[in-house]
Amino acid sequence: EVKLVESGGGLVQPGGSLRLSCATSGFTFTDYYMSWVRQPPGKALEWLGFIRNKANGYTTEYSASVKGRFTISRDNSQSILYLQMNTLRAEDSATYYCARDQLDGYYGWFAYWGQGTLVTVSA
Amino acid sequence: DIVMTQSHKFMSTSVGDRVSITCKASQDVSTAVAWYQQKPGQSPKLLIYSASYRYTGVPDRFTGSGSGTDFTFTISSVQAEDLAVYYCQQHYSTPPTFGAGTKLELK
């Protein structure tokens, strides 16, 4: 069974940093692109970026809204996905989801999502 | 970035009704559109990908259609458990982008 479990959310002050984790199981982690998607309370979903699979060198792509502030990485030995968030702003407050793409490439639709972790940026 | 526009933020329906939700892309995305259902406190659930392909285990009352810039998601006979927010998403190019959502409510 595929499982994605996020953790690391919480309350952080503006300008602060936070690292989110997504522990995965039930599939060969290195075969898949992995994405982060966020959703502010009561608002729509926003894709933040992905990290490619082993075959594509684990390189990353980001949305313009977080490029330069957020970094996606992966620990392939433990099948964990990370999102390092720096210089956080109030508008970064959201539930953050990790999501898995399809086997062996970028398809861009997500059949597997974690349960989400809430990040609140406030003084 | 490609903008996905769901023109109805809310739609009212009754159990047993047929309901269709529309989504328009700001440019041609071929058939690269997915539809998700999200209930309160839950993560999104994939229903349709590539405009018309029903994901594994999704009931056949859910269908998708369209190509180019105009897409439709239809529930043939609404059930009580279908009351949720529905999002379209283009997967034609990065960044993948989502519509604002359509909340399906009871009349």
Q: Give the pLDDT confidence of A11-29 residue by residue, as tens digits.
A: 999 999 999 999 999 999 9
**Residue where the block lists tokens 């440019």:** B27
Q: What is the pLDDT of residue A103?
A: 85
Residue B72 CA to residue B62 CA, distance in Å, equals 11
> With contacts defined as CB-CB under 8 Å, which chain A residues touch B94?
50, 61, 106, 108
Q: What is the pLDDT of residue B75?
A: 98
For chains A and B, count residue pairs whose Cβ atoms are closer than 8 Å.
Answer: 54
Given a cut of 90, whether residue B107 has pLDDT beyond it is no
Section A87-99 average pLDDT? 98
Residue B81 CA to residue B95 CA, distance in Å, equals 31
Asked if A97 lies within 8 A of B87 by C-beta distance, the reply is no
Q: Are B38 and B100 in contact (CB under 8 A)?
A: no
Half-sphere exposure of A28 (CA within 13 A, CB side): 7
Q: What are phi and psi of B61, to 5 degrees?
A: -75, -15
Share of chain B above pLDDT 70, in %: 100
Tell me the CA end-to-end span of chain B in Å, nearest whole number. 35
Q: Cα A43 to chain center, whole Å?
A: 18
> With contacts defined as CB-CB under 8 Å, which chain A residues touch B46?
109-111
Q: How far is A123 from chain B (nearest CA, A)?
A: 25
Given a cut of 90, whether residue B32 has pLDDT beyond it is yes
Q: What is the pLDDT of residue B89?
A: 98
